[in-house]
A and B are shown apart, each in its own frame.
Chain A
């Protein structure tokens, strides 16, 4: 059952159309990420949901109520900003209690809720501090507690982790997800970091040029990208150009190699289509059930810990290849001749 419903949403600044026909339904308690490069319109969509921007067209409803005509303060929405935006003149407890105070909640209830929230974010003893006395990560946690204290209908997170350093970022994103799951609050998370989006979201909306290119679970987005843009933006990708021989049967030629794809191809015979392969689908050496085997030479070896990423030159092109680290098998040295293999079933046919 959809709780937050966005349909036909458009926004133009002057002659520039930033959001073009954006549609999205989010179920109650769901965690949805808007993922895309900067300028793709993701933040504008979020700001329209929050009420800071007025849509040029389209509707936004929360729990069945159309909110487009409502000012931000009447929407019962919690928002966390990239710049934390804690009120510098108020203590941590006053910041967290601000929304409740505005609402007119009684003192006792307010204090109880503030204590509960500070406990939830793991800073129960810092209520009397001022924002300037906190680290970035702590400030953002307080901002999260402040946004959630008045029990908003929807929680909006606008790149909340971008200003933090790497370690804090990973810890905090897991914490945000844990808190969100615990409270069951409907959440929209805007980010340009695909790893961030994939690790915490129920569903991801990949945006580009003001439209949603694909909406799906992280698994779907990664393994079955609907468009060329999604395939390229999410994860690393090896791309090939292939000539279509028989679209019905899915027969194409890859260089000189005839390949039969698992399904029919939506292109005319004689045209060129894009095929792609994730680095972890390429196998060093001959893998079981791998129909395609290519001679290759190792060019680069990057040891990333659990994963080793290799760059290999093969069939006139360079491919990225991921293999798991095994303590008993050191990676091949650069310059070594080897073979790589893959299965055509793992190939992604790139659409428009």
Chain B
């Protein structure tokens, strides 16, 4: 008993000292922070120097006022949203099905969802063009609309690793099988189970998957360029090749959008009443 008390007494101040004890941790943190912050600050500073001799938002007004920026951004935004919807509709039922009925298929599915990370996008792009060109059995590159469908398919594939992993991790936190059976015994069909039970419970995971998808689609260049669609990625590249200050401004804007999205995810997580206890 005495020994235990002495131990606790000795351990407590050490634990309290813990985070501050090692100065090297702070040095490492400082170096890491500088590594990320210096280029960022430099970029922001540079983006403000379009007008000679003074700081201004000229580069930003130039970018934001460019009709091509608005068009390509709107196009990629719509594509991203549709990709997210398709991704969720494919991945959520698939992940649940693998969990409930086909657990032995899990390694295969995980491998499949990792393929887009291993196979270069350009391979998918050329594959699409070869398979679906205007003289093929399914000439999907024939019209703008069908090429957009092709682009969406490509985007969904690219986002698959992130979407699947995010949602699968989300599903791990709930007892999918028992909840499904409980809902079934209460008369619910699959649509009800997915919409009323599964999606709300993995909402946070779906959101982070959606966010990753969003940033992938917004910055994607290769597929959009190969399929010649007016997306944001090719616009950024073109701008980077032709202007000096605007690309920096564009990068800052893209950065702001990214952080905005992350903030939104946090906010959405906070609105979920049923998980409040887990967070506090």
Evaluate contact between A77 and B277: CB separation under 8 angstroms: no
Residues 112-144 (chain A) with a chain B CB within 8 angstroms: 130-133, 143
Residue in chain B with minimal CB distance to A146: B186
Determine whether the beta carbon of A85 is less than 8 Å from that of B182.
yes
Quick one: which of A85, A90, A98, A131 contacts B178, CB cutoff 8 A? Answer: A85
Instruction: For chain A, give the interface size range.
Output: 20 to 34
Whether a CB of chain A sits under 8 angstroms from the CB of B175 is yes
How far, in Å, is B171 (CB) from chain A's closest CB?
13
Q: Tell me the bound Cα distance from A98 to B189 in angstroms.
A: 12
User: Do B277 and A132 touch across chains, with their CB atoms under 8 A apart?
Assistant: yes
Within 8 A of A (CB), among B168-221: 174-175, 178-179, 181-189, 192, 196-197, 200-201
Instruction: Tell whether, in the assembled complex, residue B181 and residue A98 are in contact, meaning their CB atoms are under 8 Å apart.
Output: no
Once the chains bind, are B181 and A73 in contact (CB under 8 Å)?
Answer: no
Q: Are A87 and B184 in contact (CB under 8 A)?
A: no
B17 at the interface (CB under 8 A from A): no
Is there an interface contact between A79 and B181, defined as CB atoms closer than 8 Å? yes
B187-A88 in contact (CB<8A): no
Q: A85-B178, A89-B200 are in contact. Are A130 and B273 (CB under 8 A)?
A: yes
Q: Which residue of A lies closest to B272 (CB)?
A: A89
Q: Is the interface of B mostly helix, strand, loop or mixed?
A: helix
The answer to whether residues A87 and B179 also contact, given A73-B188, A98-B186, A103-B187 and a CB cut-off of 8 A, is yes
Cα A102 to Cα B185 in complex, Å, equals 11
Bound-complex Cα distance A126 to B182 (A): 21
Q: Which of A83-97 contact B (CB under 8 A)?
A: 83, 85-90
The answer on a CB contact under 8 Å between A50 and B178 is no
**B186 contacts which of A83, A88, A102, A131 (Cβ < 8 Å)?**
A102
Closest approach, in angstroms, between the C-beta of B242 and any C-beta of chain A? 50
CB-CB under 8 A from B273, the residues of chain A are: 130
Cβ B182 vs Cβ A51 within 8 A = no
B204 CB, nearest partner CB in chain A, Å:
11
- A156 contacts across to B, CB distance below 8 A: 185
* Smallest beta-carbon distance B92→chain A, Å: 15
Q: Are B178 and A71 in contact (CB under 8 A)?
A: no
Whether B187 contacts A102 by the Cβ 8 Å rule is yes
Contacts of A88 in B (CB 8 A): 174, 201, 274-275
Report how many residues on chain B are interfacial, defined by Cβ distance under 8 Å. Answer: 24
Instruction: Given A83-B178, A102-B192, check contact A77 B185 (CB 8 Å).
Output: yes
Q: Mark each residue of chain B from 159 to 171: 1 if its CB lies under 8 Å from any CB of chain A, else 0.
A: 0000000000000
A83 to B179, CA, bound (A): 9
CA distance A78 to B184 in the complex (A): 10
Q: Report the minimal beta-carbon distance from B185 to chain A, rounded to whole angstroms.
A: 4
Interface string of B242-280 (1 = CB under 8 A from A): 000000000000000000000000000000111101100
Q: Pick the contact of A73 from B179, B187, B197, B277 — CB < 8 Å?
A: B187
Q: Which residues of B contact A147 (CB under 8 A)?
A: 185-186
Bound CA–CA A252/B10 (angstroms) = 72
One digit per residue, 1 when the CB lies within 8 angstroms of any chain B CB and 0 when it does not, for chain A 96-115 equals: 00110011000000000000
Contact A150 B186 (CB under 8 A): yes
Which residues B77-105 have CB closer than 8 A to chain A?
none
Determine the distance from Cα of A132 to Cα of B186 in the docked complex, in whole angstroms: 21
With a CB–CB cut-off of 8 A, which chain B residues contact A89? 197, 200-201, 272, 274
- In angstroms, Cα B197 to Cα A165, docked, is 28
A76 within 8 A of B: yes
A-B pairs, top 8 by smallest CB distance, nearest first, are A99-B186, A79-B185, A85-B182, A89-B200, A72-B184, A85-B178, A102-B187, A130-B274
Q: A77-B185, A78-B186, A79-B181 are known contacts; what are 8 more A-B pairs with Cβ within 8 Å? A: A81-B178, A85-B181, A87-B179, A87-B182, A88-B275, A103-B187, A130-B274, A133-B277
On B, residues with C-beta under 8 Å from A are 174-175, 178-179, 181-189, 192, 196-197, 200-201, 272-275, 277-278
28 chain-A/chain-B pairs, Cβ below 8 angstroms:
A71-B184, A72-B181, A72-B185, A73-B185, A73-B186, A73-B187, A73-B188, A75-B185, A79-B181, A81-B181, A81-B182, A83-B175, A83-B178, A85-B182, A86-B182, A87-B183, A87-B197, A87-B201, A89-B200, A98-B186, A102-B186, A130-B273, A130-B274, A132-B275, A146-B186, A147-B186, A150-B187, A156-B185
Which residues of A are at the interface with B, using a C-beta cutoff of 8 A?
50-52, 71-79, 81, 83, 85-90, 98-99, 102-103, 130-133, 143, 146-147, 150, 156
